[in-house]
Each structure stands twice: as structure tokens, then as C-alpha cells.
Amino acid sequence: MQKKLLALAVAGVLGAPAVAMAQSAVTISGFFKVGIDNYSIGSPAAARAGLNTSETRVTDNSSRMIFGITEDIGGGLAGIAQVDMRIAPDLGTLSANGNTWVGIRSNTAGTVTLGRHDLHYGKQPDDIAAKAGALQASSNSLMDYTFRSTAIAHASRTPNVVRYDSPNWGGFAFTAAYSANPGTSSSASSGNATVESDLNSGIRKGNAWNFNPTYTASNFGVGWSYWKQKADAGSTSLTLPSDETGNVFYGYYTIAGFKLGLAFNSSRTDNASPTTGTTTSNADRRVWTVPVSWTSGSHNIYAHYTRAGKDKVGVTPGGGGATEGTDAKMIAVAYVYDLSKRTSVGLTYAKIDNGANAAYNFHNISAGGANNVVNAGEDPRLLALTVRHAF
């Protein structure tokens, strides 16, 4: 008798939250993606004399666990939220620094969310990081950085964002986003972006804007992304300028398992004086990429050729410095085999050839080690064997 009463009591306690949460739906999704890779430096600079030029390591490829929450609140409206936990199985770390937000969705008027979002970067139709291709081999490596390895739009999530996503009108849709304080490239990518700090400055107020219209049909798609950023505080740093302006034009076409893409990125960075607000040009470059892929059954091949042109500003901020040697080119190819619908393995090779004054590096390569920094003129290479399991 006592056991039956205890069972009923436990059932009542456990059942109470279920009743309270009945109107909310929670989903859990994500993937684990880890590789063993060899990272090496070709054409080592004098600064690397006496140091190792290669290392083999186990590297996380942006593994994540995503909690999605939806509540139907009537009238075609839903309350929505997402917690994007980034997991590093190689290090045992966990942080909610992914796309994390809360908002309202309308069936007819679109969606408004507030939080952290991927904006502007990674718009090119490059699928090499899909499934088990190495994330570091993405064409982001050149498309979303300057020749000094300064990230454009953080090459990661932008913090402090209000974002609107329109409904899909016959294939046409757009995203419009505003950040009250985008922070700096380093602070946002590390997940430690500053909060709003306009009150600490008498020079200016920082913000960022992104506008991204797209058109998608059954076998092709095109898009344009515009980005404008200025941090709350100015910066005279050579590698962390405070202001950015960028445009990305991109598109793709698919037929019989083949996908051919093309993208062009034009980006400029500027230094703003913390005391006067006066701006000085820092970098101004053009990059294009041609990504291709082929899928047949369990077999997938991804590749891209990407080229960064000579920087218009040159090595000296404000212009007047050398522009020669600020260009680079990259080639990457990956073969991925699907063991099942959720599990795949991949082999990736990537190489960047830097000009004498360029220091482009692989995207997100710091995940493998804080010392993976490329000196001007060095040529990084990557060979990776990666395993991915989605859930």
C-alpha cells in the first residue's frame, strides 16, 4: 500500500511540470564533428627559425547541441527561442556562444528575434564543411578576412542583435538586422563581446547593419549581403580595426547531383581614432571563389578555388604602402562517405599560397591551438580526417 501511494506521489510530482509545459515544444538537435589533422607551414618566415613547422592534433569542427523552443500563442503567432551550445569534445568545453536568441514568429508577417546571430559572413555557396569536410578548409578563410587575417563581420556570431526575417514570397525573402554594439572582431569571435557602451564615449555611438535579400528557385539561388559596422570605441590597431563595410554577391546552380557556385566579396576596414573619431583606411580588398560539389548515393566530393586580390590600401594604413604581395590563393578538396543518414567520415586537403605581405590563414584554425598564427608570406597547409555524427 505504501509503495502504491509513493508511486502515485512521484507520478504527481513528475506530471505537474508536464502539464505546465504542455503548450511548449522543445527539440534537441546538433552534431558532433571532430577530426585528426596535420597543420603545416610552407615557406616559413625568418620569425619561425628554429621552431617546428608542423603539428598533428585532434580538432573540434564546431560541434554543437541546439535546444529549440516553440509555443503557439494563437492568431498565427508563436513564441520562439534557441540555445546554441558549442561543444569541444577534444577539450571538454561547453558554451552557449552559438546562435542564441528569443523572439516572435508570425505566419504572415515574418520573424523578429533578439540575441546572437550569424550575419553577413559565410554567404558563399561553399559546402566543403558540410557533413564531414573540415571546417577549417572553408573558403571563408579568404572570403571573410583581410590580408592581415582580420575577420570581417567577426567571421562568427554578431552579438547584441535585433533581427527580422521576412516570409518567403514565391522564392524571394530577406533578412534585416541591427546590432546595438557589434564589439570587435576578437571579442565577438571569442564569445566575450562587450555590452553597449555609448555612455563611455563622447566621440560616437557604435552599431552594425546587415541587409541580405535572396531569391531561391528549385535548382538555383542568388543573394546579396551588405554589412556596415562601427564599434562603440575607436581603434588604431593594425589587426583589429573598428569600422567595416562589406558586400557579398553570390549564387549557385544545381543539376543531376552537381552544384556550381560563384561568389564575390568586396570589403573595407578602417581605423577610427578613440579621441577624435577621425578614420584612416586600413584595408580594402576583393575576393572571389568558385565552389563545386558532386553527390551520388553515399559519395560526396566538395572543392573550391578562391582568390584574394591585391589590397588597395596596402601594408601601410591610409595608403601609400606597398600593395604588391597582399594577394593570396586557396585550393581545397574533400571526399566524404556517408556511413548512414547521420554519420559520415571525410578526408580533406587544403592549401593557401600567400603573397609576400599576406597572412591569410585557415578559418577557425585557432580552435586547434592558440599558436596557429601565420606570418606574412607563409603558406599554411591542412590534411584532415574527420568524423561527424548528427542527432
Check whether 31 has a pLDDT greater than 70.
Answer: yes
Where b means 16+ CB within 10 Å and e means fewer, 31-63 reads bbbbbebebbbeebeeeeeeeeeeeeeebbbbb
Helices marked H in the chain: 2-20, 140-143, 185-189
Residue 280: which pLDDT band, with cuts at 50, 70 and 90? Answer: very high
pLDDT value of position 184: 60
87 CB burial (10 A radius; 0-12, 13-18, 19+): buried
- State mean pLDDT over 48-74: 94
Q: Residue 140: helix, strand or coil by DSSP?
A: helix
pLDDT value of position 199: 78
Check whether 284 has a pLDDT greater than 90.
Answer: yes
Residue 7: which pLDDT band, with cuts at 50, 70 and 90? Answer: very low
Q: Residue 186: helix, strand or coil by DSSP?
A: helix
E strand or H helix at 231, and its extent? none
Q: Residue 314: helix, strand or coil by DSSP?
A: coil
Torsion angles phi and psi, residue 123, rounded to 5: -80, -20
Q: Compute the distance between CA of residue 214 and CA of residue 96 in angstroms, rounded to an integer.
A: 29
Does the domain spanning 25-390 belong to CATH 3.40.630.30?
no
Q: Compute the distance between CA of residue 138 and CA of residue 124 in angstroms, rounded to an integer.
A: 10
Residue 309: which pLDDT band, with cuts at 50, 70 and 90? Answer: very high
Place of cell 572582431: 185
The better pLDDT of the pair 322, 257 is held by 257
Share the mean pLDDT of the chain: 89
Long-range contacts of range 319-323, CB-CB < 8 Å, 24 or more positions apart?
Answer: 319/281, 322/357
In the chain, the amino acid numbered 124 is: Q
Q: Per 3-state DSSP, what percentage of the chain is helix, strand, and coil (rounded to 5)?
A: 10, 50, 35
Q: Compute the distance between CA of residue 282 and CA of residue 173 in angstroms, rounded to an integer.
A: 34
Q: Residue 142: helix, strand or coil by DSSP?
A: helix
Check whether 210 has a pLDDT greater than 60.
Answer: yes
Domain spans of the chain, in order of start? 25-390
Nearest CA-CA partner of 134 in 302, 328, 265, 263: 302
Q: Residue 315: helix, strand or coil by DSSP?
A: coil
pLDDT value of position 192: 42
The grid cell for 161 is: 542583435
SS (H, E, C) 195-206: CCCHHHCCCCCC
Residue 371: which pLDDT band, with cuts at 50, 70 and 90? Answer: low
- State mean pLDDT over 272-287: 90
The better pLDDT of the pair 203, 89 is held by 89
Check whether 377 has a pLDDT greater than 70.
Answer: yes
User: CB of 325 within 8 A of CB of 349?
Assistant: no
Place of cell 566543403: 128
pLDDT tens for each residue of 105-123: 999 999 999 999 999 999 9
User: CB of 43 within 8 A of CB of 75?
Assistant: no
pLDDT value of position 256: 95
Residue 369: which pLDDT band, with cuts at 50, 70 and 90? Answer: low
Check whether 324 has a pLDDT greater than 70.
Answer: yes
SS (H, E, C) 3-45: HHHHHHHHHHHHHHHHHHCCCEEEEEEEEEEEEEEEEEEECCC
Specify the pTM: 0.89
pLDDT value of position 234: 80
Place of cell 587575417: 149
pLDDT tens for each residue of 146-197: 999 999 999 999 999 999 999 999 999 999 999 998 876 444 444 444 667 7
The grid cell for 184 is: 570587435
